[in-house]
Amino acid sequence: MGSRIPSHQLSNGLYVSGRPEHHKERQPTILSRAVPYTGGDVKKSGELGKMFSDHPPPVLKSHRGSSSSSGSFRSAPNSGSGPLSKRASGSGPISGLHPTGLLLTSGPLGSSIGRRSGQLEPPTVSSKGKTVYGPAVTTLGFDDVRLGFKISKTLMWMLLVIAVIGLMVGTFLMLAVKKPLILVAVLAVLVVAVVIILWNCGFKKRRMMSFLRNYPDAELRGAVDGQFVKVTGIVTCGSIPLEISFQKVPRCVYVSTELYEYKGWGGKPANPKHRCFSWGCRNSEKYLADFYISDFQSGLRAVVKAGYGAKVAPFVKETTVIDITKENLDSSPSFVSWLADRSLSSDDRVMRLKEGYIKEGSTASVMGVVRRHDNVLMIVPPTEPVSTGCRWACGLFPTYVEGLVLTCDESQNAEVIPV
């Protein structure tokens, strides 16, 4: 016996297999009712108007550097009953957030801090092969780092007047009383004073370097705004990495290339201050830009504002790269090309090329003033000169230097930490 397959007729007259479906009427899930037109006034919009009452919800604040795309805004549903004050959107970056990390906010100290360093003008290479930097890079001369004695001018004039009076009195007594003892005593005092001055001039730089090495390191975590600190740590490049001109060492935070010439009894001087039988600087290229330093004490990283023409005093030892005489000039085509790029002639001179640099990953020390702007930690040049203080027991006057002090151990040029 075979089973009969059920079938039914559709409304158009066709027969199809299967049983007819019985559709039940669905109940509405949301009851609709008439809503009066409010004309955009949210206070007349019933439950929606309560969301825009006189007591707004708390504002959600986002921290800089957070991965969330939410900013400081009032959350509200998108409704046609009234315009929203601000509409949250995840389609782009929030203008209130400032980038941190390697995207440092760069610029002069008086400029806005909301501009990203990636928008800075990159360095260009001229037709002769020489790198040309923009205004964001500080250019230093060979004699920009000057060490002076921090002594009161009033005291210096008083000592000079006393010395002149002593010489006059001693000379008068020697002629009138025929006793030269007083004049000899005055001359002895003057000789001692001259020796002390020459002693300070000869050990001026050594005294400053000893002071910089022995100055205690500070911890950035507890440093307050306006505090003078010395920070030692690993340096990393900012938005504009530097490259040394002759050896072509990339990704440096400080570069220095100087060409010296020796002048004998005759010959042309390298500069107006060049004396005979000495080395004089003929060409100097020193560049600095904003960079980072990671504090060894606290692990925090700060932006060192060394660019945009900031006053900086770098104490980095230079090493001799090449010595050139008349005999070996042709054996160094790279040096000849370097001279041609700068329109410098050899003229059979005795020349010496020195270079110094701080490569990314080196250990360096920075002395400056702490500045805190929101969540950005900066080290800027101090307004007052950095003084070593006096050491009268050793006959040393207070030595000072102006600007942001930058030091680096010369051994770091060869061995650096990869970053």
Distance CA 144, CA 46 (A): 73
pLDDT at residue number 88 = 37
Q: Which two tokens stand for residue 81?
A: 């009953």
**Element housing 387 (H / E):** strand 386-387
Amino acid at residue number 253: V
CB 271 within 8 A of CB 280: yes
3-state helix, strand, coil in the chain (%, to 5): 20, 25, 55
Residue 132 to residues 108, 121, 126, 136, 243, Cα–Cα distance (Å): 19, 11, 7, 11, 11
pLDDT at residue number 386 = 87
Q: What is the pLDDT along the chain (419 residues), one digit of tens a residue?
A: 445 567 777 776 767 667 766 555 555 544 444 555 555 554 555 554 555 455 454 444 444 443 333 333 333 334 333 433 333 333 343 333 333 344 444 455 554 443 344 445 566 665 455 778 889 999 998 777 777 776 667 777 887 888 888 788 778 877 887 777 777 887 888 888 888 888 877 778 888 888 889 999 999 988 999 999 999 999 999 999 999 999 999 999 999 999 999 988 877 888 888 888 889 999 999 999 999 999 988 889 999 999 999 999 999 989 999 998 888 888 888 999 999 989 888 777 899 999 999 999 999 999 999 999 888 899 999 998 888 877 766 667 788 889 999 998 755 445 555 55
Neighbour-count burial for 330-363, b at 16+ CB within 10 Å, e otherwise: eeeeebeebbeeeeeeeeebebbbbbbbbbbbbb
CB 166 within 8 A of CB 365: no
pTM flag (> 0.75): no
Q: How wide is the angle at C-alpha 128 spanned by C-alphas 123 and 130, nearest 5°?
A: 35
- Which residues are CB-neighbours of 397 under 8 A, at least 6 positions away? 149, 150, 151, 200, 390
pLDDT at residue number 379 = 96
Residue written as token pair 């290339």: 257
**Span between the terminal Cα atoms of the chain, in Å:** 87
Question: Taking each helix axis from N to C terminus, what angle separates 181-202 and 204-214, rounded to the nearest 10 degrees?
Answer: 50
CB 230 within 8 A of CB 220: no
Domain residue ranges in the chain: 124-146+218-413, 151-202
Of 328, 354, 143, 348, nearest to 264 by C-alpha is 348
358: Cα separation from own chain's centroid: 13
Distance CA 108, CA 241 (A): 17
CB 134 within 8 A of CB 107: no
pLDDT at residue number 137 = 95
According to DSSP, residue 277 is labeled: T
pLDDT at residue number 99 = 38
Distance CA 245, CA 285 (A): 8
Of 364, 414, 367, nearest to 234 by C-alpha is 364
pLDDT at residue number 361 = 93
Distance CA 410, CA 408 (A): 6
According to DSSP, residue 141 is labeled: -
- Which residues are CB-neighbours of 366 under 8 A, at least 6 positions away? 230, 231, 232, 293, 304, 379, 404, 405, 406
**Element housing 149 (H / E):** strand 148-149
- Which residues are CB-neighbours of 33 under 8 A, at least 6 positions away? none
